[in-house]
Amino acid sequence: MVDSEGHPDGDEIALGSVLAALADPLRRQVVAELARAPGGTERTCASFGFPVSKATLTHHFRVLREAGLIRQVNRGNSRAACLRADDIEARLPGLLDLVAAEGGKK
């Protein structure tokens, strides 16, 4: 079941949808940055500074939301995205670490 805003339940997060969502480099970077940030960090779509149009951004964040990777909540003016770290870790343990590690060798 999904709520009215398109978020699947934690126990409905499907491996196939998650892998498909993470196959795109832009979406993977969103998850990677959120995973490396302190827990519960909220980011606005535009704050990532990707060189794509607003319409494309909406599309990518929808895919991430419907896969269960992020949660989007209304914050008045804009819409904040935060990683569903607990849900993902409970269902696909270790996956976030792999994504967070990529490109994070500073």
Q: Which residues of the chain form contacts with its own copies (CB under 8 A)? A: 15-16, 19-20, 22-23, 25, 28, 92-95, 97-99, 102
Query: Which of the listed partners (its own copies, DNA, none) does 93 bind, with a CB threshold of 5 to 8 Å by partner kind?
Result: its own copies
The verdict on 15 binding DNA (CB under 7 A) reads no
Query: Which span (22-30, 33-41, 82-90, 92-100) binds DNA, by CB under 7 A?
Result: 22-30
Nearest alpha carbon to residue 29 among 74, 60, 73: 60
Classified as helix, coil or strand, 26 is: helix
Of 16, 38, 49, 76, the one binding DNA (CB under 7 A) is 76
48, 33 Cβ separation under 8 angstroms: yes
Q: What is the DSSP letter of 21?
A: H
Residue 62 main-chain phi, psi, to 5 deg: -65, -45
Query: Which of the listed partners (its own copies, DNA, none) does 60 bind, with a CB threshold of 5 to 8 Å by partner kind?
Result: DNA
